[in-house]
Structure 1
Amino acid sequence: MAHTHSHGIGHHEHRHHHAVTETADARKRVAIAAVLTFAFMGAEIIGGIISGSLALLADAAHMLTDAGSLALAWVGFRLAARPADGLRSFGFARFKVLAAFVNGLALLALAVWIVWEAIHRLLEPQPILGGILLGVAIAGLVVNIIAFFILHGGDHDDLNMRGAIWHVAGDLLGSVAAIVAAILILATGWTPIDPILSVVVALIIAVGGWRVTRESAHILIEGVPSGLSPDDIKKDLEANLEDAARVTHIHAWALTEQKPLVTLEVVARDGACLDTVRRAVKTRLQQQFGVSHATVEVHKAPDLP
């Protein structure tokens, strides 16, 4: 039986260097966005209390959760950059996925809170100072646009980064809703628009939170990565590798959304070189399915019971 876990050293070092560079860039972007978000949060809280606007208070609450979520995302990127050790053979790479999962849950919880508060405001309307609301909301929009573009320049395939982007996008939408509410209140005096627009923003936030939570949970329970199918792998290898008589015990999962992992066993045809078959399988997996980390066991047919 040939059982290997080796990889091309040159390519591995190139990928590792590329990953470290991407992680450092993402960490810097998240840190800047976190500082901007936290710095303006206080102004929104004060403005929301003085003006009586739920839209502004909801946006301030969102910015508060964002500051914590962005800090968590930063920790995720920081830990992901640490090397593997004797207790963690894959390092801390999956902490990014865990951070994304927590951020997704935070988005869902925030959406529920906003809807709950909006219902109370609709049942018991309160006076709102449209002028203060408009001024603070415009300033918040500027801050959120800056933070959004800082994060949007990062890696969109990274779940941790996507969770951070959804948080800031929710803030941006919250600021837009507050501006619209302020203009309508100043023009018509109709205050129910404030909680109504808050609910719309909450629903958008909930969609983003559900997506991030669902995708990160799928990775955490070691579900099959998107684009990979054990059946497709089996059919492809058996059809395209002449010396692979049978492919069995296929398992596919992911360490992170960017690092799929596969293990499988191959029954080689009589007379085939086991090491040649092994290398052919690993090459096919990388070229056809984008799997660069695979554990392949190769057997001779007579070795099987």
Structure 2
Amino acid sequence: MSGHAHSHGHGHSHAHGVAPDADRRWLRAALGLLTAYMAVEVVIGVLAGSLALISDAAHMLTDAVSILLALIAMRLAARPARGGYTYGLKRAEILSAQANGITLLLLSVWLAYEAVQRLISPPTVGGAMVLWTALSGIVVNLICTWLLSKANRSSLNVEGAYQHILTDLFGFVATALSGLVVLTTGFERADAIATLVVVALMLRAGTGLVRESGRIFMEAAPAGLDPDALGDRLVSQDEVVEVHDLHIWQITSGQPALSAHILVAPGGDCHKVRRGLQELLSGEYRITHATLQVDHVGEQAEAGEVLTLGPRPGTGAQPEPPTAPDHCEDAHGPVHRPWPHRH
């Protein structure tokens, strides 16, 4: 039974494969609408002398780019795995999400600088043009938000494009208010203040996207999943003596993966243990891509090394789990055992 590496089939759940063709259709419709409106908005923003409108148009440009990247990434991610890319190109969407986040952060820095300049020395702003353009922008963004809400937002990529457009929607509301203030009171610094509101929204959305995509690139466990707690849960199962080399990561958003080395008590049924652990991972943690190496304790021990069964500490009665030498020269993370003797 030594060295059995059992690989669970990749039962991809419906959650991360929701009608990609439908997703592309919704995204393409939003892309066409955004691009057409953005061109109009840039012209009006220049004519009205409104930085808030130009900042909204700049953000709309990143909306359009994010959707375009999402469409390209979807096409790449759908390609089958081959050659050196054993997971295919599924992480193309994470590259796309990270590019979206970085673009938002860079744009926000530039717009913040321009807005501060305008607070110090406010130019003349055409309030009526700003107001009506921003109100029409709200309608366009509502339509685009609805279009993207129809796509599969469990994808970090689609979620990135959705966040761009939702942020833009709030930005248009701020711009419309600034246009109304300029129109009714003549307070032209309202335009710069609205720009700073857009900047704050861009910073929030950009930071979230960079952080989430960064977690995936750094092979971190999915947010909200504690690997130590999961390791303790696995080792609490019948006949499991030790769990080590436990790794949990995400191939791409919505596709968690796990690998671990499991040691089973002498005489235990390795196949039964493996099946039970994979049912646990799939049912409770929604991890359907799990590779478990299951061995009996001591099967990898050097010749002449003896396994010992000692009394459980503090009881003198129950046998302690068999102790064996470390199975890996370089242990990858904590060793989980039923009782607290963790390395």
| TM-score by shorter chain over 0.5 | yes
Question: In 1, distance between residues paired with 2:97 and 2:119?
Answer: 33
Question: In 1, distance between residues paired with 2:167 and 2:247?
Answer: 37
Give how far 1:266 is off: 0.9
Question: In 2, distance between residues paired with 1:44 and 1:146?
Answer: 17
The amino acid of 1:293's aligned partner reads: H
Please say if 1:49 is aligned against 2:46.
yes
Aligned to 2:257: 261
Give how far 1:267 is off: 0.8
Aligned to 2:161: 164
Given candidates 197, 222, 232, the residue that maps to 2:219 is 222
> For each residue in 1:237-273, what CA deviation from the matched residue of structure 2 results, as whole angstroms up to 9, or x when unmatched?
221x212111111111111121111110111111122
Question: In 2, distance between residues paired with 1:281 and 1:65?
Answer: 44
Please say if 1:122 is aligned against 2:108.
no
Question: In 2, distance between residues paired with 1:273 and 1:3?
Answer: 14
**Structure 2: unaligned runs, 5 residues or longer:** 302-343
The amino acid of 1:40's aligned partner reads: Y
Q: Helix, strand or coil for the counterpart of 1:303?
A: coil
The amino acid of 1:96's aligned partner reads: E
Aligned to 1:296: 292
The amino acid of 1:102's aligned partner reads: A
> For each residue in 1:198-247, what CA deviation from the matched residue of structure 2 results, as whole angstroms up to 9, or x when unmatched?
101210121111111101100111111123222212211221x2121111
Contact 1:166–1:205 (CA under 8 A) maintained in structure 2: no
Give how far 1:19 is off: 4.2
Aligned to 2:8: 6
> For each residue in 1:265-304, what CA deviation from the matched residue of structure 2 results, as whole angstroms up to 9, or x when unmatched?
1111111222222222211211222111111001121213
Contact 2:115–2:192 (CA under 8 A) maintained in structure 1: yes
Aligned to 1:67: 64
Please say if 1:153 is aligned against 2:153.
no
Give how far 1:156 is off: 3.1
Give how far 1:6 is off: 3.3
Give the TM-score of the pair, scaled to structure 2.
0.83
Please say if 1:286 is aligned against 2:288.
no
Kindly report which structure 2 residues correspond to 1:146-225, keeping only aligned pairs within 5 A, or say none. 146-225=143-222
Question: In 2, distance between residues paired with 1:21 and 1:234?
Answer: 31
RMSD (CA atoms): 1.7
Structure 1 residues 167-176 or 38-47, which shifts more?
167-176
Identity %: 34
- Runs of 4+ with >4 A deviation: none
Kindly report which structure 2 residues correspond to 1:24-35, keeping only aligned pairs within 5 A, or say none. 24-35=21-32
The amino acid of 2:161's aligned partner reads: A
Aligned to 2:238: 242
Say which structure is richer in helix.
Answer: 1
Give the TM-score of the pair, scaled to structure 1.
0.93
Structure 1 residues 177-186 or 43-52, which shifts more?
177-186
Contact 2:80–2:88 (CA under 8 A) maintained in structure 1: yes
State which structure, 1 or 2, has the greater radius of gyration over its C-alpha atoms. 2
Given candidates 85, 88, 106, the residue that maps to 1:91 is 88
Aligned to 2:248: 252
